[in-house]
Amino acid sequence: MPLVKGSRIAADTFTRVEDDAPIPEQGAVLVPAARFLADAAELMQRAAPVGVIWPNNMDVSELVPYLDKLALVALVFPIFRDGRAYSQARLLRERYAYRGEMRATGQILRDQFVFYLRAGFDAFDVVKNADAAAFEETAKRYSVFFQPTGDGRLTVARSRLKLHGHRDPAAKRVTV
């Protein structure tokens, strides 16, 4: 399963640690949510990066105390039709100001790339090689966006106001 980061296929530097396995001393680790919450204090002491896999039925506000130190939050799309993690992603980025890597995992397919990007994801465990290879091209497919989200793209409403000579109201901060 190729990882796409910064629009390119990239090597995954994180090692997934199962619930009962020991945490390695060195290197970046990615741990399941329950394990993370149980061992949070210890994990946060690590010098190497720590990431968490957060399921789509848990409240992301639980992560708030750790966001500064977390290097990666992996959100889960068990099937692409289950859109709960889009809300989690926007909340993490826009309400809780999380700035680390946010990875889409699960059934990650080409036709949702633009949605993922707009919701704030910046890394993707893509299922198919062909989809991963087509990432850059697919991400540019749309140029018109209606919703103000944390990705900062200019919305149609703002473009129109500028075009029609109004003052631009939406230098305002996005809040979700």
Partner 1 sequence: MYLYDEFDRTLLTERVSEFRGQVARRLSGELTEDEFKSLRLMNGVYLQLHAYMLRIAIPYGTLSAVQMRRLAHVARKYDRGYGHFTTRQNIQFNWIKLAQLPDAMADLADAGLHGMQTSGNCVRNITTDQWAGVAPDEIEDPRVWAELIRQHVTLHPEFSFLPRKFKIAVGASDHDRAALRIHDLALRMHKNGAGEAGFEVMVGGGLGRTPFIAKTIKQFLPVRDVLTYIEAVLRLYNQYGRRDNIYKARIKILVHDKGGEQFGKEVDAEWQNIKDGSLALDKDVIADIATRFQYPDYEKLLDNPPELKAAQADARFATWHANSVSRHKQSGYAIVTLSLKPIGKPTGDCTADQMDKIADIADRYSYSEIRVGHEQNLVLPQVAQRDLPEVFKALDAIGVATPNVNQISDIIACPGLDYCSLANARAIPVAQEISKRFAEPNLAKSLNRLHVNISGCINACGHHHVGHIGILGVEKNGEEFYQISIGGKADENAQLGTLLGPAVPYDDVVDAVEDLAEAYLALRERPDELFIDTFKRVGVEPFKERVYATR
Q: How far is the CB of 164 from partner 1 (least distance, A)?
A: 6
Q: How far is the CB of 19 from partner 1 (least distance, A)?
A: 24
Number of residues in contact with partner 1 under rule CB under 8 A: 43
Q: How far apart are CA 49 and CA 138, in angstroms?
A: 30
Identify which of residues 38 and 159 has a Cβ nearer to partner 1 in the complex.
159
114 forms part of the interface with partner 1 (CB under 8 A): yes
64 forms part of the interface with partner 1 (CB under 8 A): no
Cα separation of the two ends of the chain:
32
Q: How far is the CB of 155 from partner 1 (least distance, A)?
A: 8
Q: How far is the CB of 77 from partner 1 (least distance, A)?
A: 8
The distance from CA 17 to its chain's CA centroid, rounded to whole angstroms, is 20
Identify which of residues 16 and 141 has a Cβ nearer to partner 1 in the complex.
141
Nearest-CA neighbor of 53 among 23, 83, 85, 26?
Answer: 85
User: For residues 135-174, which are near partner 1 according to CB under 8 A?
Assistant: 141-149, 156-157, 159-161, 164, 166-167, 169-170, 172-174
CB within 8 Å of 174: residues ≥ 6 apart? 94, 148, 149, 150, 152
Pairing of strands 72-77, 15-16: unpaired
Q: How far apart are CA 70 and CA 55, in angstroms?
A: 16
Q: How far apart are CA 143 and CA 126, in angstroms?
A: 23
**What residues are paired with 29 via a beta bridge?**
15, 50
Q: How far is the CB of 128 from partner 1 (least distance, A)?
A: 9
Write out the residues near partner 1 by the rule CB under 8 A.
Answer: 80-84, 86-88, 90, 95, 109, 111, 114-119, 130, 141-149, 156-157, 159-161, 164, 166-167, 169-170, 172-176
